[in-house]
Amino acid sequence: MKLADRVNKIKPSFTLEMTSRAAELKYAGHDVISFSAGQPDFNTPDNIISAAKSAMDNGLTKYTAGSGMIELRDAVCQKVKRENKIDILPEQVLVSNGEKQSLYLACQALFQEGDEVIIFSPYWVSFPEFVTLSGAKPILINTESKNNFEPNLEDIQKIDNENVKGIIINSPSNPTGAVWSEEKILEVLKISEEKNWIVISDECYERLVFDEQITISQKIANNNNLKTEIITCMSMSKTYAMTGWRIGYAFGNIDIIKAMSKIQGQATSCANSIGQAASIEALVGDQSTVDKMIEVFKERRDYMIQLLNNLPEVDCRIPGGAFYAFPNFNFYIGKTYKNKTINDSFDLCEIFLNEAYVATIPGDGFGAPGYVRFSYAVDKKTIKNGIDRIEKIIFEIK
């Protein structure tokens, strides 16, 4: 059978692959510790679950408007006003099956063959694939741990290529957990305005920020009277522990949102009605469970970073948000374990998984050779056990 070329142009999601390998080992009876999760370990708060049950009882089990229930788009406007101090109208909002779909739609609606799109490395694995699927070409700009994974402005400024149409930013970041400073985001937005690039701002971890900081691109643009075109994408998944409900949303320029909605309408009609009803409660209901979750994540972050930095020759900067640590294991690349050379972070993570039953995600897959992503969406006891096991392994690396 001959498949379409686009299938061969993209890679499968290797983060999902690592997670399923860990699940298989667990199923086979091994005591697996997983630092690979890209989701909170908490259950969805009760008030949200109750709202979903009422929605089902009350017959909200049918198709909704393609761009999302008006009540939910209105709840998004209220949330964005309350927390992000941005005024938007329901017509500027699109509700999708997870933010991932909003991001995909933004790329489909905006980019095509001949276009180029800037992505910062280390990057979330789906960004280059979304761009490639649209027919456009990703341009990677490297960032470094010593600079909080923030870009050098000269690297962006010097891109003088009229094929560049867009730029994707993601703060707080997956995989690094880095939160870019307000000044850095402002500078990137200014350059984008000057060069007429559309900004897709992935803000799925916007609430999971541990030190007071503004990360919302649209707010920074508004505060500085910038006219930069920004499509902001946010998610119910991480803030409300709702990854399986598959609801996310985007807001911005009405024409772009309409174009995204047109594609969504033909692809999936609308997001699931019960998840949408539950999301209204999540956005406008009691927020105290979110605050508690943030506190727990902060405590775990501090604990994990300290343990990682105690490992010999491992260096981990303190991430400002999300729930990922991104330590540098470069010292161990090129060395040997049980007479086998460790060529890259894929090999290293294989050893952690197969020999210590600890699942982590290799940084090479995020465009960051020598780094490893650890999720701290697990309790402190598990963090300690897992890092103890890794310590034993690295003492055997020669």
Ligand X SMILES: Cc1ncc(COP(=O)(O)O)c(C=O)c1O
204 sits near ligand X (criterion: CB under 6 A): yes
DSSP string for 85-154: -----GGGEEEESSHHHHHHHHHHHH--TT-EEEEEES--THHHHHHHHTT-EEEEEE--GGGTTPPPHH
375 sits near ligand X (criterion: CB under 6 A): no
Residue 380 to residues 205, 386, 396, Cα–Cα distance (Å): 21, 10, 25
99 sits near ligand X (criterion: CB under 6 A): yes
Tokens encoding 62 = 């049918």
Of residues 278 through 337, those in contact with ligand X by CB under 6 A are none
Distance CA 334, CA 398 (A): 10
Q: Which stretch binds ligand X (CB under 6 A): 97-105, 113-121, 145-153, 190-198?
A: 97-105
Residue placing its CB nearer to ligand X in the complex, 84 or 176: 176
CB of 204 to ligand X, least distance (A): 4
Among 36, 132, 171, 237, binds ligand X (CB under 6 A): 237
248 sits near ligand X (criterion: CB under 6 A): yes
CB of 40 to ligand X, least distance (A): 11
Tokens encoding 379 = 């309790």
Of residues 22 through 51, those in contact with ligand X by CB under 6 A are 38
For ligand X, how many residues bind (rule: CB under 6 A)? 13
Q: Which stretch binds ligand X (CB under 6 A): 22-30, 92-100, 291-299, 327-335?
A: 92-100
Of residues 144 through 163, those in contact with ligand X by CB under 6 A are none
DSSP string for 29-54: T---EE----S-SSPPPHHHHHHHHH
CB of 225 to ligand X, least distance (A): 28
128 sits near ligand X (criterion: CB under 6 A): no
Distance CA 180, CA 201 (A): 12
174 sits near ligand X (criterion: CB under 6 A): yes
> Which residue, among 120, 82, 76, has the nearest Cα to 102 in the 3D structure?
76
98 sits near ligand X (criterion: CB under 6 A): yes
Beta-carbon neighbour count of residue 3 at 10 Å? 7
Beta-carbon neighbour count of residue 212 at 10 Å? 5
CB of 125 to ligand X, least distance (A): 9
Minimal CB distance to ligand X: which residue?
A: 98
249 near 234, Cβ under 8 Å?
yes
Looking at the DSSP bridge assignments, the partners of residue 209 are: 321
Q: Which stretch binds ligand X (CB under 6 A): 25-33, 72-80, 94-102, 386-394?
A: 94-102
The beta-strand segments (E) located in the chain are 33-34, 93-96, 116-121, 137-142, 164-169, 198-202, 230-235, 248-251, 324-325, 336-337, 340-341, 358-359, 361-362, 372-375
Tokens encoding 67 = 């761009």
CB of 115 to ligand X, least distance (A): 21
Residue placing its CB nearer to ligand X in the complex, 166 or 248: 248
- Helix (H/G/I), strand (E/B), else coil: 315: strand
Rg from Cα positions in the chain? 21
Residue placing its CB nearer to ligand X in the complex, 248 or 370: 248
201 sits near ligand X (criterion: CB under 6 A): no
143 sits near ligand X (criterion: CB under 6 A): no
CB of 193 to ligand X, least distance (A): 24
Q: Which stretch binds ligand X (CB under 6 A): 53-61, 82-90, 98-106, 148-156?
A: 98-106
CB of 360 to ligand X, least distance (A): 16
CB of 10 to ligand X, least distance (A): 16
Residue placing its CB nearer to ligand X in the complex, 205 or 337: 205
The binding site for ligand X (CB under 6 A) comprises 38, 98-100, 124, 170, 174, 202, 204, 235, 237, 243, 248
